[in-house]
Amino acid sequence: MLDSRTRAFGSAMTYIQGPGELDKIEEYSRVYTNRVFFLIDGFLFPTLKERIENIFSKSDSVCICEACRGECCYSEINRITELVKEHKAGLIVGAGGGKTIDIAKMVANSLFFPYFIVPTSAATDAPVSGLAVVYTDTGEHLEAVMLKRSADIVLMDSNLIAGAPIRLFRAGMADALATWFEAQARERSESPNNIGKGYLRCKAGMAIARLSYDLLMEDGLRALRDLEIGAVTDAVENIIETNTLLSGLGFQNTGCSVAHAIHAGLAELPETHSYLHGEKVAFGIVCGFAFENTPMDIVDKVMQFMVEAGIPVTLSDLGVEATPENIFKIADKVVNRNRTIYAEPLVINIDTVSAAIISANALGERYKARFKNK
């Protein structure tokens, strides 16, 4: 519980979303500088480099493109920092997935530079947040860093997002779905949000978290169907905004609880490493229903949505056997080596968390049998 009644709200300076917006990147960047450093996902580097260089070739601005080499670790952060200084760039653009984005954030904050984020999927809500996750060179989680500033512009090209594998979009929906349930837990326990040292939530943060939930329930399934046929409709645009802007502002300004705690526990099991962040958070939502004894009308509505959307709701959906050993490993991490669960205003120990995991897994199996392929 906080000892102050001070509220705080944080956000990126500007959020822009629409079809073909990447083609305007030089127009947006020239307000800041005529020398722009692009850090691009290694997987997407050849395609995006060619497109960006073509855009800049029609102007007097200069672009420098560099491929991200993997983890958001201090050796890579330092390498990119030196390249940015060497090229005398005045703006950093991180284009790609979470690790590339977080490296760009870390470099920009260390140099006190402006920066843009250009996500290539709607898989997470990280782009608009003032948080970066740093790993070791070999991929083990090291720390989460609260940054001095969020992005100057988050630029979402809807056509680029729609071209990504639909699994990424679905995982982003799961991550966004957790936002409202976790916000309520933080509110009940008066736990701090993720702004600076941690403050009470502004009403705006809670309202945004709720809107994430409402839009998912209203447009989520329609957006998935539209993406499957390559149609970038208003429903798709609404869920891109939900996954990225609304969920990002929601989690930063309200905080996380059981769903993300369970994610951390699942990450202890090697068999989950090939699954996406949002996919693991999804099972954490189900655990939250069991842990918090959520009213069944809400459980029924959300579980039907998750199953019909193809979002994981059981341990087996994540390649995990529901053995006592695996459940203990998850619960041990959640209770003893991660603080997120303690935002829950409930009794927290190995037994209560293990019971929630067992109950959630059974709940998920029942709803899969009931709604799958209906």
Q: Which of 102, 152, 219, 277 is catalytic?
A: 277
Q: In the numeric block, which tokens belong to residue 362?
A: 């059974």
Strand order in the sheet with 35-40: 14-18, 153-157, 115-119, 91-96, 35-40, 62-67
Q: Could you give the 3-state DSSP secondary structure of residue 131?
A: strand
Q: Could you give the 3-state DSSP secondary structure of residue 40?
A: strand
Q: How far apart are CA 91 and CA 85, in angstroms?
A: 11
Q: How far apart are CA 101 and CA 94, in angstroms?
A: 5
Q: How far apart are CA 172 and CA 175, in angstroms?
A: 5
User: Could you tell me the sign of the dihedral formed by the alpha carbons of 26, 32, 33, 36, in that order?
Assistant: negative
Q: Which residues neighbour 312 within 8 Å (Cβ) at sequence distance 6 or greater?
A: 174, 275, 279, 280, 282, 283, 306, 318
Annotation says 141 is catalytic: no
Q: Which of 175, 219, 226, 317 is catalytic?
A: 175
Q: Which of 41, 226, 260, 317 is catalytic?
A: 260
Q: How far apart are CA 158 and CA 340, in angstroms?
A: 33
Q: How far apart are CA 263 and CA 326, in angstroms?
A: 14
Q: Which residues neighbour 274 within 8 Å (Cβ) at sequence distance 6 or greater?
A: 319
Annotation says 87 is catalytic: no
Q: How far apart are CA 78 and CA 323, in angstroms?
A: 42
Catalytic residues: 175, 260, 263, 277
